[in-house]
Amino acid sequence: MVENDRRYVALGARLRSVPEVITLGVRPTFLDYSKEERTLILEASVILFPTINYAQYLFTMGKKIFPSLETHLYADDKIKQTNLFQMLGIPHPRTRIYYPRHWSEILEDFDFPFIAKIPRNSGRGRGVFLIRNKTELESYSHLSKIAYIQEYLSHDRDLRVVLVNYDPILAYWRKVAPGNFRANLAQGAGIDLECIPAEAIALAKDAALRCGFDDVGLDLINCAGRWQLIEANTKYGRKALAACGMDIREITREKLLSGEIADCDRVKVYF
């Protein structure tokens, strides 16, 4: 049990089986919680996994939350992530966004082949296309009202770095399956834990801190000797963690009970 019999409060289900955490669930409005539950939320030192439904409200009230508001706001939105990476000067493949009236400019800016993505809510490698000709570009145009176009970096693997509370807990290569160009495990990629480069881990941690992503899987590619951050995944899979005998709930629990999550301030950590 936590010191002084203190219990932690969560809304989302990630820590439902953790005995020191009271998981209340996510209700449509605050008044849908009982009086006792509302008191728990308002008096808690940190609210865990509030989900986007409540993260913004709690942050506005000055409540500490985990994951951070930034982690919630940029989740599953490649356009927001790309703009953030560009503004922060984080190495990122050349990427442009085109709205319908400007789609004709794509072939002025990019040569075949290039990558086209569904910019929002497309994880696990779904919604990522290798565009090699005008016919494939035309097919993509029917799938998304906004074109997210990115230079194609030839690679046979990328590196996934999982960070919890800005701490890299696991890094592994995702080796592209034969006949595919995507390195997602859901697309048949393999896991390789050998020879993980320290400079890539350093870039991932630096990017996580600067972006405020404290519970995230970052994907990086090395092209021509230069590491680049492809995207951030706040709903990172558990397959590799399980393969390495790691339990994300237990890792989060240990960081919670040690005080790391409640005490961490990324501004102090970074600066």
Whether the per-residue pLDDT at 180 is higher than 90: the answer is no
Helix and strand numbers (H, E) in the chain are: 11, 13
160 or 269: whose pLDDT is higher?
A: 160
Whether the per-residue pLDDT at 2 is higher than 50: the answer is no
Range list for CATH 3.30.470.20 in the chain: 157-270
Whether the per-residue pLDDT at 225 is higher than 60: the answer is yes
The CATH architecture to which 157-270 belongs is: 2-Layer Sandwich (3.30)
Find the mean pLDDT for residues 185-205. 89
User: What pLDDT does residue 214 have?
Assistant: 97
Range list for CATH 3.30.1490.20 in the chain: 94-151
User: Is the pTM here over 0.85, yes or no?
Assistant: yes
User: What pLDDT does residue 44 have?
Assistant: 95
The dotted CATH code for 94-151 is 3.30.1490.20
User: What pLDDT does residue 115 have?
Assistant: 96
- Buried-exposed string 43-80: b where 16+ CB fall within 10 A, e elsewhere: ebebbbbbbeebbeebbeeebbbbbbbbbbbbbbbbee
User: What pLDDT does residue 173 have?
Assistant: 94
Give the confidence band of 235 by pLDDT, cuts at 50, 70, 90: confident
User: What pLDDT does residue 1 have?
Assistant: 34
